[in-house]
Amino acid sequence: MILRSGFISLVQKRLCEFFDESIGSGTPSLDIHRRNLKRLEGRWRNIQSSTTCLCCLRRRPQYGLTCGHIVCENCVKIFGECSVNDPWIYKVRSCFVCGVETHEEVVIKIHPPTAGVGVLCIDGGGTRGVLPLKFLQRIQDRIGLRIPPQKFFKVVFGTSSGRFSRHVLKGLLMWAGSWSSAGLFIEGWSVNKSLEKAEDMAKVAFRRQKRLRIPIISGIVEFCISYICDGLYPAAHIEAALKEAFKNRRILDYSYATSIGTRVGLLVATIRDPLICVFTNYNGVGTRDPGQGEHFQILLRLVNLMNKAYHVVQPSDEYGNVSLWEM
C-alpha cells in the first residue's frame, strides 16, 4: 500500500534526479528519455493505444509501426533518423517504445509548415468511378514528368464508399471513390494499375444474383430480391473483391501515403440507419471550433437538410484496428 502523497513524492524525487543529471552532467533530456524507454521495453510490448502516443504520453499518435505501436509526429522528429537529402523525411528502423525492429525501413515524410497544400477529392459512382482515374491519367500525361501524381497532393479524400440504404439511393453501389483513394495512396498503385484493378474488381463486384430463366417471372423475382437485399448485386461479391485488393491492411498501418506525407480520408456510410462517417490515416489529429469556418457551416446545413447524422470517427472508437476493406 502506498498513499497518494507518497506516490507524488516518489515521482517528484525521480524528476529532481533527472533534472540534476541534466544540469550537472549536461546529459540531454532526449538521452534520459530514450534510456528510460529502453529500460522498460519489455513492459511496453504488450501495451498498445490508438488514443495516446506511448512514447511521449502527451499527443495523439498517427503513424502505425509494424510492431503495432502508433507514434506521434513530434516523436518521429525527435527519435527518428533525419534524411541527409531531405530535412523533412525521417527513417524509423525500430520502434521508439518497445525497441522491436521494423520488418521494412519505415520512411515518414512530414509536410513542411511553409509549403502549400494540394487537395484531391475522388468521387464514386460504381463502375463510373474509373472516370476520375482517367482524368488523373490525362493530367499525368500532360505534366510529362517521371513523378507519381500522388506526390502532388497532400490532402486526399475519397467519397461514396460503401453501400447506401435504399432510403438514400436505392441499392446503388458507390464504392469507387474511396477505393481509388485507398489504392493510389495507401497501397501506392500507379494510375494505370488502379485502372486495371478497377476493371477486375468491377467484374467481380457487379455480378447479379442467380436468377431463373423464365420470362417475366424471373424479372419479378429479381425485383423482389433486389428490394429485400437493398441492391441488385450481392454484398459478398464486393467484399470478396475488396479483401483480395487490400488483404488485412489497416488505415493506420505504415503505407505509401506515410512515405510521401499525404493525409487520406475515407468518407463512408452505413447500410441500416444511414450514418455518414469519416476514417483518416492521421487518426483525426487536430481540432476545429464548430462555430468558425464558412465551409464547415455550409456542410453542417447540408447535413441537417439531409436529416442524417455526421459522425467523425475518433481514436477512442478503436477504429485503427479495423481492416481497410471493411471501411
Indicate the helix (H) or strand (E) that contains 81.
strand 81-82
What gap in Å lies between CA 109 and CA 88, rounded to an integer?
A: 6
Cβ(57)–Cβ(94) under 8 Å? Answer: no
268-302 burial, b at 16+ Cβ within 10 Å, e below that, comes to: bbeeeebebbebbbbbbeeeeeeeeeeeeeeeeee
Indicate the helix (H) or strand (E) that contains 104.
strand 101-109
What gap in Å lies between CA 285 and CA 249, rounded to an integer?
A: 21
The domains of the chain are located at: 28-109, 119-310
The 10 Å Cβ neighbour count of residue 221 is 14
Q: Return the pLDDT at 210.
A: 64
14-50 burial, b at 16+ Cβ within 10 Å, e below that, comes to: eeeeeeeeeeeeeeeeeeebeeebeeeeeebbeebbb
Residue with the bigger pLDDT between 306 and 16: it is 16
Q: How confident is the model at residue 310 (pLDDT cuts 50, 70, 90)?
A: low
Residue whose cell numbers read 478503436: 318
Q: How confident is the model at residue 165 (pLDDT cuts 50, 70, 90)?
A: very low
Q: Return the pLDDT at 160.
A: 59
Query: What are 68-116's pLDDT values in tens digits?
Result: 899 999 999 999 999 999 999 999 999 999 999 988 889 999 999 888 8
Residue with the bigger pLDDT between 103 and 31: it is 31
Query: What are 187-211's pLDDT values in tens digits?
Result: 999 998 988 888 887 777 777 666 6
Q: Return the pLDDT at 289.
A: 55
Residue 306 has pLDDT above 60, yes or no: no
Q: Return the pLDDT at 131.
A: 83
Residue 164 has pLDDT above 90, yes or no: no
Instruction: Please tell me the total number of residues recorded for the chain in this structure.
Output: 327
Spelled out in words, what is the top-level CATH class assigned to the domain 28-109?
alpha beta
